[in-house]
Amino acid sequence: MSTAKDLIANLERLGDEFVTVIQPLTDEQGIRAAQAGFLGKKGKLSELMKELGRLPAGDRPLVGAAANKAKQAIEDRVTARLGELADAAGKQDLARTIDITLPARPVGGGHLHLLTQVRLEAVQIFAELGFVVETGPQIETDWNTFEALAIPKDHPARDMQDTFYVSDEIVLRTHTSPVQVRTMLTQAPPIRIVAPGHVFRRDDDPTHSPMFTQLEGLAVDDGLSFADLKGVLLHFVKRFFARDLAIRLRPSYFPFVEPGAEVDMQCTFCMGSGCRVCKGTGWVEIGGSGMVDPEVFAHVNIDAEKYTGFAFGMGLERMAMLRHGVNDIKFYYEGDLRFLEQF
């Protein structure tokens, strides 16, 4: 039977033995395995401690202290050895040379969002006819948004807009027509502007969004007629869709134009023969238009006896949907690269 002195001597030798075992090891997995061989449940230290119960009670504290010391020495050596390996790996990384003359990995470039592409292209087409871009705030006064456009507070057309109100007199604009008002208040005719921008309405389905992008146009000059309006819209449709498409103007009501008309264009999918997209009619609606109501001119101090004007508006999301076959307006805003990378 081992004496306390023998056990203490054996425990002290464990530390030196462990150093010999792990010194040649060069990976953490091997070092951890060696540690388990000495300190695990069936390790060498555990085997030695099985003799502890056979010793006199007075000797056991001395052997226990020696066992704790041996265990701590082994754990300290594991920590030190792992640190040595980490330092060596770091130095190796620093010593590695990099050939900076090698070609870099290609980095894919971004591109403009589809709606931005459509907006810029539409603006450029109208610029060919002398229209310039004007912008205005998205948070607007009730007067600029409605009353100056012949839509007083009790007018039933207010219900058509489904407005977001900030306060009784401040709204999120429901169309870009306030830009027309601001322009006519600050510029004398002749006026030819387009006003692209975000607008907001309480609407949400596959073809409508609470926020969408609208482009409106306004022309004010001496002698402008409905024929001029149709010519501008026909030029835009042919250029935007790069096809010889026809348009038609259907009588319709808009509070700020008289007469007013819905603008339809020949279906790009069936070229007028009738299909699912155009519901068999051969035509698809793209916006509204009309001659500026003299009441609007009165609000902005333009002489309706001297000048006439026309205005039109369209949703850019819808124009992009018709040109590219997009079937859900939410695709534009979800940020899905699988969709965006197609354009």
Sheet of 164-165: strand order equals 139-141, 170-172, 164-165
Confidence at residue 68, expressed as pLDDT on a 0 to 100 scale: 84
Quote the pLDDT of residue 223: 93
pLDDT of residue 138: 95
Q: What is the structure's pLDDT at 160? A: 61
Helix residue spans in the chain (DSSP H):
4-22, 28-39, 44-49, 60-95, 114-127, 142-145, 158-161, 177-186, 226-241, 294-299, 316-324, 337-340
Distance from C-alpha of 286 to C-alpha of 275, rounded to nearest angstrom: 17
Q: How much is the pTM?
A: 0.66
Residue 176 CA to residue 166 CA, distance in Å, equals 17
pLDDT values of the chain reduced to their tens digit, one per residue, 343 residues: 568 777 788 778 887 888 888 888 888 888 888 888 888 888 787 777 777 767 787 777 887 788 788 888 888 888 888 888 888 888 877 777 777 788 888 877 788 999 999 999 999 999 999 999 999 999 999 999 999 998 888 877 676 668 888 998 999 999 999 999 999 999 999 999 999 999 998 876 666 678 889 999 999 999 999 999 999 999 999 999 999 999 999 999 988 999 999 999 998 888 888 888 788 889 999 999 999 999 999 999 999 999 999 999 999 988 998 888 887 778 888 888 888 888 8
Q: Where are the domains of the chain?
A: 4-95, 114-340
- pLDDT value for 311: 97
Q: Per residue in 224-280, pLDDT tens? A: 999 999 999 999 999 999 999 999 999 999 889 999 999 999 988 888 888 887 888
Q: Which CATH class is domain 114-340?
A: alpha beta
The pLDDT score that the predictor gives to residue 206 is 61
The partner residues of 205 in beta bridges, in order of sequence, read 208
Interacting residues of 227 by C-beta distance below 8 A, sequence separation 6+:
none
The DSSP secondary-structure symbol of 321 reads H
What whole-number distance in Å separates Cα of residue 301 and Cα of residue 308? Answer: 13
